């Protein structure tokens, strides 16, 4: 499973937003919330996205990830 860190840059500093396995699904949910709050929707190009390597040692989580 691939994981991605999503960052937002305010012009001077990079801010952690979320770690997700599906950036498109996250963006969809993020935009629903923004629109509900009267804000404009965003696009993936508004963020800096990096694939990350996760070292997961919990047996239960490892078994869940194998299912995906």
Which single residue is written with the structure tokens 């965003």?
42
**20-65 pLDDT per residue, tens:** 999 999 999 999 999 999 999 999 999 999 999 988 777 776 677 7
DSSP 44: G
**What's the confidence (pLDDT) of residue 16?**
97
What's 26-62 look like in SS3?
HHHHHHHHHHHCCCCCCCHHHCEEEEECCCCCCHHHH
Residue 18 host element (H or E): strand 14-20
Which single residue is written with the structure tokens 């500093």?
13
Other C-beta atoms closer than 10 Å to the C-beta of 29 total 13
To the question of pTM greater than 0.85 for the whole model, the response is no
């Amino acid at each position: 499973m691939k994981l991605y860190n999503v960052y937002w840059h305010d012009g001077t500093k990079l801010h952690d937003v979320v770690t997700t396995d599906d950036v498109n699904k996250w963006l969809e949910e993020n935009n629903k919330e923004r629109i509900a709050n009267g804000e404009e929707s965003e696009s993936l190009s508004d963020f800096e996205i990096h694939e990350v390597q996760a070292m997961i040692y919990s047996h239960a989580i490892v078994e869940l990830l194998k299912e995906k």
